[in-house]
């Protein structure tokens, strides 16, 4: 039997942060357990490696159940299975959302202590920003944040097209305001991906009090007399369970899908569901696996009038040159995340929401994640997602077998409002692509296609082509202890069981109006202080020494 002070289940963005912060005390023994393997392959470190990850590399290979509001379509649902989690395979976009997102957590969900003024210092604590040092940004933290190294001219045309429609240029989506189009800041440092694994975990792997187990899957959390006391896991190819005990806490940080899955496998969750799949009920907690939210992505693909994007680098001789350019000069296509340009605006130009509710990602190619066969001059993609969906879904177990894939039902567009707003966002994306500034680069629209203009036609297009933006949250949400659908209290303790916390994107009551990696890292930074029982001021003082 192995004995530790803290056991962290999941080596993703949150788990790597926690491993760093908790093991800083040499007297504390920490175990980090990750089901996936290492991030040694160059694709995990080269920014453009993201394109390979969207095809399923280093993921669990899960998919949704048929989405009844999208014509029963089944969507691929990529969830990382590698050290660093989503931060090792994502498009490296560093976005935080807007202050109102976090105020909603407090006022609408009872997540006291998670308002914008409370969380901003934790965003800044992790940040090593290469450009900004102001009220909103800092430098010197573990997470590299930088601007694109070698953007293409079509990106500037995209900004001009927005201005032709009255959408301003914005140099910092994480600053004073989110509105506008611009370059995303990226989790990169020196033209390499800065994941939670490289930024937070790698520098401390040699700590003697930190044990990292990869290719090891936690089967269940062990609970004795109402307290979490450890975990049961299997490592490598062995099916013989290993028991690891935690003298202080077990911290579940397996993500918005993995965390409720593990809790339910442990008998913690909706009692009726657990009985139905043959899992003995340890603690009836109805909110586990409910409240699933995600951003659904629609896109426009256009054929270019020349080699204005990176499509040509799919050809072997161009790919070879791109690799050489990157290795020698740290620039060019390989140094690009391929989605480093975009922005935020309003689906409804007349009745605007409290902040932008549509996000754009300009993809410098035609088939980076989904698309069409190769075009003579390559293509360009403009993704669009409605940011504040009202639809709610679930994560459930398919059976009592820990090896079985979970049943994932984001329940996209169950609320008609989401469909209306998403299609408005798609129309806006088409308008941007049709502006005069883009005419220098764009020859014609390929998808949705000329003549596909009615709401019904765009709905059929969405049913056939929509995809996840990989932003699931909410399945173990923060809330007041008396709320029957809350899973954790504001200090991230699991309601009803001692010695057990959840720290990852699953605790977010509402999905932020942005990509979710930066908010997840913030949750882990703040969660570490809760676990250690210290205030932000005390934590900062400790760091200085």
Query: Strand, helix or coil at 143?
Result: strand
149-183+296-386+413-465: CATH topology is Cholesterol Oxidase; domain 2 (3.30.410)
pLDDT tens digits, residue range 415-446?
Answer: 999 999 999 999 999 999 999 999 999 999 99
- pLDDT, position 369: 67
Burial of 99-134, coded b for 16+ CB within 10 Å and e otherwise, reads: ebbbebbbeebbbbebbbebbbbbbbbbbbbbebee
Asked if residue 379 lies in contact with residue 311, where contact means CB atoms within 8 angstroms, the answer is: yes
Across the range 68-82, mean pLDDT stands at: 96
In this structure, the strands spanning 467-468 and 442-447 are unpaired
DSSP letters for 401-420: -TTSPPEEE--TTSSHHHHH
Contacts of residue 243, defined as CB under 8 A and 6 or more positions apart, other chains included, come to 1, 2, 222, 230, 231, 232
Q: Which of 45, 295, 308, 471 is catalytic?
A: 471
Across the range 89-115, mean pLDDT stands at: 97
Determine what percent of the chain is predicted with pLDDT higher than 70.
97
pLDDT tens digits, residue range 307-365?
Answer: 899 888 777 777 788 888 888 788 888 888 889 999 999 999 888 999 999 999 999 99
Closest CA to 499 of 251, 218, 242, 283: 251
| pLDDT band (50, 70, 90) for residue 545 | very low
pLDDT tens digits, residue range 360-406?
Answer: 999 999 877 656 667 788 999 999 999 999 999 999 999 999 999 99
Catalytic-residue membership of 471: yes
At 520, list the tokens: 């997840």
Across the range 532-545, mean pLDDT stands at: 64
pLDDT tens digits, residue range 225-260?
Answer: 999 999 999 998 888 999 999 999 999 999 999 999
Domain 1-60+77-114+194-293+473-545 identical in fold to domain 149-183+296-386+413-465: no
Domain boundaries, given as residue ranges, for the chain: 1-60+77-114+194-293+473-545, 149-183+296-386+413-465
Element (DSSP H or E) covering residue 467:
strand 467-468
- At 437, give phi and psi (nearest 5°): -60, -30
| pLDDT band (50, 70, 90) for residue 534 | confident
At 387, list the tokens: 């940011």
Element (DSSP H or E) covering residue 212:
strand 210-214
- pLDDT, position 430: 98
Q: What is the pTM of this model?
A: 0.96
CATH annotation of 1-60+77-114+194-293+473-545: 3.50.50.60
At 257, list the tokens: 């899908």
pLDDT above 60 (res 544): no
Across the range 516-529, mean pLDDT stands at: 98
């Amino acid at each position: 039997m192995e004995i530790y002070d803290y056991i962290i289940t999941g080596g993703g963005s949150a788990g790597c942060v926690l491993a760093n912060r908790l093991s800083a005390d040499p007297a504390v023994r920490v175990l980090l357990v990750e089901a996936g393997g290492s991030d040694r392959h160059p694709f995990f470190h080269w920014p453009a490696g993201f394109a390979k990850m969207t095809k399923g590399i280093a993921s669990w290979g899960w998919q949704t159940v048929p989405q009844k509001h999208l014509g029963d379509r089944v969507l691929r649902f990529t969830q990382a299975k590698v050290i660093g989690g989503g931060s090792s395979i994502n498009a490296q976009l560093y976005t935080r959302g807007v202050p109102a997102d976090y105020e909603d957590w407090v006022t609408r969900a009872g997540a006291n202590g998670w308002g914008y003024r409370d969380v901003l210092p934790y965003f800044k604590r992790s940040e090593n920003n290469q450009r900004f040092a102001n009220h909103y940004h800092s430098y010197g933290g573990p997470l590299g944040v930088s601007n694109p190294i070698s953007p293409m001219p079509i990106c500037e045309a995209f900004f001009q097209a927005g201005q032709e429609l009255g959408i301003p240029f914005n140099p910092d989506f994480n600053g004073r305001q989110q509105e506008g189009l611009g370059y995303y800041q990226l989790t990169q440092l020196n033209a390499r991906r800065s994941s939670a694994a490289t930024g937070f975990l790698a520098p401390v792997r040699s700590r003697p009090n930190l044990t990292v187990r990869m290719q090891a899957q936690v089967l269940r959390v062990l609970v004795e007399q109402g307290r979490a006391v450890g975990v049961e896991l299997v490592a490598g190819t062995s099916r013989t369970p290993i028991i690891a005990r935690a003298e202080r806490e077990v911290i579940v940080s397996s993500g918005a899908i993995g965390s409720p899955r593990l809790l339910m496998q442990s008998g913690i969750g909706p009692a009726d569901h657990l009985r139905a799949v043959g899992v003995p009920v340890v603690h009836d907690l109805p909110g586990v696996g409910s409240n699933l939210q995600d951003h659904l992505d629609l896109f426009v693909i256009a054929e270019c009038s020349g080699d204005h994007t990176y499509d040509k680098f799919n050809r072997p001789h161009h790919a070879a040159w791109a690799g050489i350019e990157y290795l020698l000069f740290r620039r060019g296509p390989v140094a690009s995340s391929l989605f480093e340009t975009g922005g935020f605006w309003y689906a409804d130009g007349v009745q605007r929401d409290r902040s932008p509710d549509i996000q754009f990602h300009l993809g410098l190619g035609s088939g980076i994640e989904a698309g069409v066969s190769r075009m003579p001059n390559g293509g360009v993609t403009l993704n669009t997602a409605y940011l504040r969906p009202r639809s709610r879904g679930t994560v459930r177990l398919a059976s009592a077998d820990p090896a079985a894939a979970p049943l994932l039902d984001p329940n996209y567009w169950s609320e008609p409002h989401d469909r209306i707003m998403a299609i408005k966002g798609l129309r806006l994306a088409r308008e941007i692509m049709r502006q005069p500034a883009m005419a220098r680069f764009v020859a014609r629209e390929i998808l949705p296609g000329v003549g596909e203009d009615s709401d019904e036609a765009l709905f059929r297009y969405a049913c056939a082509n929509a995809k996840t933006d990989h932003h699931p949250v909410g399945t173990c949400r923060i809330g007041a202890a008396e709320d029957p659908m809350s899973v954790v209290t504001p200090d991230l303790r699991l309601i009803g069981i001692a010695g057990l916390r959840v720290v990852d994107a699953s605790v977010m009551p509402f999905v932020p109006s942005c990509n979710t990696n930066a908010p997840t890292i913030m949750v882990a930074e703040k969660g570490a202080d809760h676990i250690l029982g210290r205030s932000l001021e005390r934590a900062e003082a400790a760091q200085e020494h």
